[in-house]
Structure 1
Amino acid sequence: MKITSITTSPYASNSYLINEKILIDPGMDTDRLIQKIKEHTQPENIELIILTHSHFDHCAAAKSVAEICNAPIAIHKDDAQALKSREESVSILFSAPAPDIDPDILYANGDIIKISETEAMEVIHTPGHTPGGISLYEPSSKSLFSGDTVFPNGGIGRTDFTGGSLDQLSASIEKLTELDVITLYPGHGPVTSDDVNKQIRLSLQMSRAYR
């Protein structure tokens, strides 16, 4: 599985391009993202845009990028309504309107996203940061795209936004500790392969300490 990490601004989420055809979290800067994508493939080769959750820093560019790529937008069903709300999408913090996205695909826990003939990602519902937050796990490479659920070095997502829940976040992280992860691709911060299972267990400890 070929994974390209893209960062478009200090405030936007990390974006990930998988096998030059699946885009995770477009972030906020359409022009810069498209420019970065063109360094690896043509935008029209993008077949799917996945949002790990509904927050503005992850999805503000999704609508315009989808139009350029002619690709569907997917999100967990429990976060779809938040794309229409300034409070739930936290676009209000950026003095911006709501993303106003009508997603084409609504995921549920356990859904499978085919990447290639031999690779597929499982959708893991990881609420807590938002009600419909997801993580994506690809077992053959043991790759985890964690959105804003966990970060390197025991970091955890904020739960003080609308729809956040520390109890739910802790339960979600506990689910992630059951996975065997070699490489963590977080929503913010560096990609890491440094004893990731231990880092996720530390995130679980941190979430429980705040309860």
Structure 2
Amino acid sequence: MVTNLAQGKQVFTSNAFLVAPDVPDDADGRTVVVDPGNEFDAVAEIRERVSDVDAVVLTHTHSDHVGNVSAVSEAFDADVWGFDPDHELVDHAIADDDLVEMGGYDYLAVHTPGHKDDHLCFYARDSGVLFAGDLVFANGSFGRTDLAEGDRERLIASIDRLLDLLDGDLREMHTGHGPSVTREPRRHVEAAAEAARSMP
């Protein structure tokens, strides 16, 4: 079960996803927050839905994605996982090709720089779910490359690598901003790859 905790919030925030087992209180599945967002009460939103959080997982460390990290981590005594173990908010490193268990499914961590050096996407083949962070968005949009650490060629290479990993069973794409995609999400990733190559 994936819920966007930031839905409808009119503040400077990314989407913030609560990933919980499909069966409540499933002992075999970890409840995780992917990117707690910024400038809203994420702790209250979480407590409306679940009693505990096992971990916080970051797609990357831009401020709109991590502003609520400390509050969520402290409220639930949850460690924070991300690509860069030297970042002050990250307790444990997730390496490229690691498997990260969230909501009862194993997600492949894919290092996808271009928007930011520490950017990760997470893809679960069994459930057909992708967390794309700010790499790609609905309708063929793609992550900014005009910020520090941004690089268009690296972004294109990251999108291409992600496309190579995605199979025909991709059902849902949850992005760092804008709506999630539940209808032919792979086409949106393909469109982002084309747009990133063609736009100045």
TM-score range, shorter chain: 0.7 to 0.9
Residue in structure 1 matched with residue 93 of structure 2 by the alignment? 106
- What TM-score results when the alignment is normalised by the length of structure 2? 0.87
1:186 counterpart (159, 175, 193): 175
Residue in structure 2 matched with residue 150 of structure 1 by the alignment? 136
What letter is aligned with 1:203?
A
Residue in structure 1 matched with residue 17 of structure 2 by the alignment? 16
Residue in structure 2 matched with residue 25 of structure 1 by the alignment? 35
Name the SS of the counterpart of 1:150 in structure 2.
coil
Q: Specify whether residues 10 and 189 from structure 1 end up closer, same or farther in structure 2 by C-alpha distance, changes over 3 A only.
A: farther
Q: How many residues align?
A: 186
Task: State the distance in 2 between where 1:19 and 1:116 align.
Answer: 4
The structure in which a higher percent of residues are helix is 1
Alpha-carbon distance, 1:116 to partner: 5.7
Q: Specify whether residues 111 and 205 from structure 1 end up closer, same or farther in structure 2 by C-alpha distance, changes over 3 A only.
A: same
Alpha-carbon distance, 1:10 to partner: 3.8
- Matched ranges for 1:95-134 at <5 A: 101-115=88-102, 119-134=105-120
Q: Specify whether residues 188 and 116 from structure 1 end up closer, same or farther in structure 2 by C-alpha distance, changes over 3 A only.
A: closer
- Tell me, yes or no, if structure 1 residue 210 matches structure 2 residue 196: no
Q: Give me the CA root mean square deviation.
A: 1.6
Name the SS of the counterpart of 1:26 in structure 2.
coil
What's the % identity of the aligned pairs? 28
Unpaired stretches in structure 2, ≥5 consecutive residues? 22-30
What letter is aligned with 1:23?
V
Is the CA contact 1:170–1:207 (under 8 Å) kept in the aligned structure 2?
A: yes
Task: State the distance in 1 between where 2:182 and 2:64 align.
Answer: 25
Task: State the distance in 1 between where 2:34 and 2:176 align.
Answer: 9
Is the CA contact 2:174–2:180 (under 8 Å) kept in the aligned structure 1?
A: yes
- What TM-score results when the alignment is normalised by the length of structure 1? 0.83
1:37 counterpart (43, 46, 52): 46
What letter is aligned with 2:69?
A
Residue in structure 1 matched with residue 158 of structure 2 by the alignment? 172
Name the SS of the counterpart of 1:114 in structure 2.
strand
Is the CA contact 1:9–1:29 (under 8 Å) kept in the aligned structure 2?
A: no
Residue in structure 2 matched with residue 86 of structure 1 by the alignment? none
What letter is aligned with 1:28?
N
Is the CA contact 2:121–2:132 (under 8 Å) kept in the aligned structure 1?
A: yes
Name the SS of the counterpart of 2:109 in structure 1.
strand
Task: State the distance in 2 between where 1:192 and 1:14 align.
Answer: 13
